[in-house]
Structure 1
């Protein structure tokens, strides 16, 4: 059977397998899904496996929707849901999407009500969409849900237009003429602005589209799509592997200049991405710089975002299927598997990944259906990181020594992932009396990110996810103090009380961490502790590499020189990236074995070091052809022309 199944064949299979009792009224292509509209959803209770059978036969995702004529009144639906939901479901809200015919149920324990999904659909005529109510209130989580509901009609129209594009007949590939070419627009022999263009005879897809945080808004901060003579509306889809600005920071920029396709990512990445992009805009406004996109572009991006679960195969173009797998880097991070054509070529793009378990996440997936080419990060390709427990012990030691000399600890942190891990380490150390109970001040954005973590326990490590599901909140410790606004910063620093401050940004490129640094730098009793990778060109990198005087332009427009007398530490072992041994182990474990490895997302020394090691380790890793692209280099991975 060919990769693209004839549309008439799809319709015939559905009409043949759906029982007449379903009273099918129409079929719609809604993005990657085929929506089957029926008047009698009761057939789902009678033939429980029928939808899976259809999906397996036509190799498409199926969703059942109801004809509007059978949907009961809202009041009756709410009453019915509450009557069948056990008390421990913890329902916190019920809303309606009139366009899609969905009832959105927000519950503390969603798995309880999920078991009654078909029952609710059959009785009420409304398809239940069940979301977790996080134990920590997330403003962004609520804004995303509200945005989808308020713009439901626009989104449905977009999905139907997208469905026609995805399920169109292939042209060249249908006649046996195809190719796969990758072009590196950013993130090649550098860390930052990750962006890879994948082209086939039918499609153009972007893997990430990020910003280089160390290059301000110079041309070197942007992926160089401008040099390819490709317009944003020529792109079919964008895949975002995770919510760090060097991977997602310029996706709204594409919408500003005409892109109207789909953005594919996980639910958690969508929420975190919206939060980080809005924060980026706020910081730009505060610092008086002109951002490359607007809030309207971010909102447009959200309406075009389609979220996917791990391990679910999804059509994203006529000749490309996408599957996302756990990357172990940050919450919601994904390894992207592209199945191109009918087995024509398979690409695994790791994005940033961790092949080792952390307090937050399980290690990255390494088993795939097929692999021909792996595009792999190499951030630490020349470095072996300390063991995780040694890194934790070092952090605790630094905090204790700083406390003993009457100083305060500033931990600039990435708001996503690293901050939450540090919070867990500090809370456990205080519980076990390894540290005194020191106030830990947490800036508002980190709190918001942490709240999003609590909304997705299934994406966290098994142990941490189970703690959240059981009603415990590991991120809510008694000494943690959430801060809002800028006012308390001077007071906290000048106070004689001990304190730990966790603030963004992790590379001191802006945000509250820079304000704390200015206030604390002159006191030798204080400590500055880096727990994140410091990109070349950032203030954090300069300080980590030994700079003891740095200049800022103050609010009056004058240059202000800061002399650094505080203690400076850098702890590498907390990284969400794989170090060199883990990268090599990943290539040893990955199944099936790729024939080609393309190394990206690393400074030149790291990339070349790793490439040489892979070449020297052929007996252990297999005969892998290693490529080390530069910016704008292209490789044709497969062709049949």
Structure 2
């Protein structure tokens, strides 16, 4: 048996993760992500899949972020109808995120059609909400740490990766004619000291390893995010202002809710209304309640009087009219709303109405990419375009470090040091340039590993005649 791998994404970029494994008589895909970001990357989503889909027999997912699942509707639309394996929480999150992605694709195509700025006469969505729904019957959910078979000679096991709810490290055990081989895919690794999610599981052995390198060149500051959050909130409240927290709906919103509840319980911030104004964030929070064994808060959530996701100060706003009612709110309160970089979503109308007031505070709780409204606000721009209008930025802007869902370089190395034997090959994936190169150098220099930074669409023979 020969085993080969083809890198259909997540190679030379932090997006579009797709790794095709071919064992000769069985081909399967690990992750099926959407390309995001630069135009040249996004255009890859429109390319025809590079193999006949009737030959591919399964997809294995690590977690539910769109850069790992967002191409699934396109894959199914082109003819794939095999099983899509994932953890139960990943399946439920994927349904939320894929439906939202499909709706956004439709809205963007319609907007381009109306405004006439597309290169195409009749712009079409990459896929629709209906296409996303066609994926759901193919999900085959699996438990953590319980091996399952996808082929008579191929067994897969999921281990906790941290990062987001349901995220998994994937171990694939392939039984050849003469020997067995282990392929391990890190997926996206979380933090080792996250207050909600389990730390990434240490895996002792891998013949071939795929390791992400999102922050392969970065060492996170040793900050105390709860204390920083308390300082920014109390500073704003001392001015008589309102706090707005742009936050990603899945993972980051729940972490912010946890810290705010803890701060209130400990008397470090006053007990004021906390509005979670994000339908997707609310749906994701409900899954944390449902899948209590997938995170570390099971004991906390058993408290009947109050816990981070259900307490007297917490108000969940699903309806748009409820959201709009906050436009006129004055005084001490906290609004948590998507999106995390202020690129869209309901948070925009909160910023539109509250940025001009110098009493108010806007707290960013994650990385702000270049060119986003969040980045421009942090850099101190005095006017921000929202809904086509120039909005004066008079509010105080804060940025809290230490809430990232990604392992930094030290944590990636800590996870790598959990292997008792050096992998034959370690592929450095899901990173760009310096991120991947620095992690590869560290693994080479400190652990003596053989590392490869693969190229997009590169094929590699992993084993011959096993």
Task: Identify which of 200, 211, 215 aligns with 1:376.
Answer: 211
2:71 to 241, 246, 250: 250
Q: What are structure 2's unaligned runs of at least 5 residues?
A: 112-123
For the 8 Å contact 1:551–1:562, the answer to whether it is kept is yes
In structure 2, how many angstroms separate the alpha carbons of the residues matched to 1:331 and 1:437? 28
Count of paired positions: 449
**Which position in structure 2 is the counterpart of 1:200?**
23
Residue of structure 2 in register with 1:590 after alignment = 419
Q: CA deviation at 1:511?
A: 1.6
CA separation in 2, counterparts of 1:637 and 1:562?
55
SS at match of 2:194: coil
Structure 1 residue 228, shift from structure 2 partner: 6.2
Deviations 1:153-179 (A, max 9, x none): xxxxxxxxxxxxxxxxxxxx3xxxx12
Counterpart pick for 1:624 among 428, 449, 455? 449
Per-residue CA distance 1:23-60 (angstroms, 9 max, x = gap): xxxxxxxxxxxxxxxxxxxxxxxxxxxxxxxxxxxxxx
1:399 equivalent to 2:233? Answer yes
Determine the C-alpha separation between the residues in 2 that align with 1:567 and 1:213.
31
Deviation at 1:213, TM superposition (A): 4.2
Q: Is 1:188 the counterpart of 2:22 in the alignment?
A: no
Residues 561 and 460 (structure 1), Cα distance of their counterparts in 2 relative to 1, 3 Å cut = same
CA drift at 1:599: 1.5
**How far off is 1:337 after superposition?**
0.9
Aligned to 1:346: 182
Q: Hey, what does 1:179 align to over in structure 2?
A: 3
Label 1:477 to 1:382 Cα distance change in 2 as closer, same or farther (>3 A): same
Q: Give 4+ residue runs of structure 1 displaced > 6 Å after superposition.
A: none
Q: How far apart are 1:233 and its partner, in Å?
A: 3.1
Q: Are 2:38 and 1:209 aligned? A: no
Give the root-mean-square deviation of aligned CA atoms.
2.5
2:226–2:263 contact (8 Å) kept in structure 1 = no
Residue aligning to 1:635: 460
- Aligned with 1:374: secondary structure? strand
1:375·1:599 contact (CA, 8 Å) conserved in 2? yes
- The whole-number CA distance in structure 1 between the counterparts of 2:373 and 2:288 is 28
Instruction: Give the Cα–Cα distance (whole angstroms) in 2 for the partners of residues 541 and 284 of structure 1.
Output: 24
Q: 1:564 — aligned with what?
A: 393
**Residues 597-627 of structure 1, C-alpha deviations (whole Å, 9 max, x = no match):** 222222322112222222231xxx3x21111
Distance 1:212 1:569, change over 3 A: farther
* Contact kept? 2:317, 2:323, Cα under 8 Å: no
- CA distance in structure 1 between the aligned counterparts of 2:414 and 2:379, rounded to whole angstroms: 29
Larger helix proportion of the pair: 1
- Structure 1 residue runs without a partner (length 5+): 1-172
In the other structure, the counterpart of 1:459 is 294
Answer whether contact 1:185 1:224 (CA < 8 A) is retained: no
1:279 equivalent to 2:104? Answer no
- Write out per-residue CA displacement over residues 384-432 of structure 1, whole angstroms, 9 at most, x where no aligned residue: 11336x1221111111111112222222222121111111110111111
What CA deviation, in whole Å up to 9, does each residue of 1:337-361 have, x standing for no partner?
1112334432111111124031211
Match of 2:120 in 1: none
| Structure 1 residue corresponding to 2:197, chosen from 354, 361, 365 | 361
Aligned position for 2:116: none
Contact kept? 2:103, 2:128, Cα under 8 Å: no
Quick one: which of 587, 594, 600 aligns to 2:429? 600
Residues 510 and 318 of structure 1, relative CA distance in 2, 3 Å threshold: farther
Task: Say whether 1:299 aligns with 2:123.
Answer: no
Distance 2:358 2:92 in 1: 39
Q: Give the equivalent residue in structure 2 for 1:40.
A: none
The verdict on how the C-alpha distance between 1:516 and 1:211 changes in structure 2, with shifts beyond 3 A counting, is farther
Of 244, 250, 257, 1:410 maps to 244
Distance verdict in 2 for CA 1:517–1:304, change over 3 Å: same
CA distance in 2, matches of 1:204, 1:538: 39
Gap change, CA 1:449 and 1:550, over 3 Å in 2: same
The structure-2 alpha-carbon separation of the partners of 1:541 and 1:210, relative to structure 1 and needing over 3 Å to count, comes to farther
Alignment CA distance shift 1:550-1:582 (3 Å): same
Name the CA shift for 1:424/1:229 in 2 (closer, same or farther; >3 Å).
closer
Q: Which residue does the alignment assign to 1:613?
A: 442
TM-score of the aligned structures, taking structure 1 as reference length? 0.65
Query: Structure with the greater relative contact order (CA < 8 A, sep ≥ 6): 1 or 2?
Result: 2
| Equivalent pair of 1:202/1:318 in contact (CA under 8 Å) | no
Tell me by how many angstroms 1:187 deviates. 2.3
TM-score, normalised relative to structure 2: 0.88
1:253-306 CA deviation, whole Å, 9 max, x = no partner?
Answer: 111111101111000110111011222334445554554223333232111110
**What's the counterpart of residue 468 of structure 1?**
301
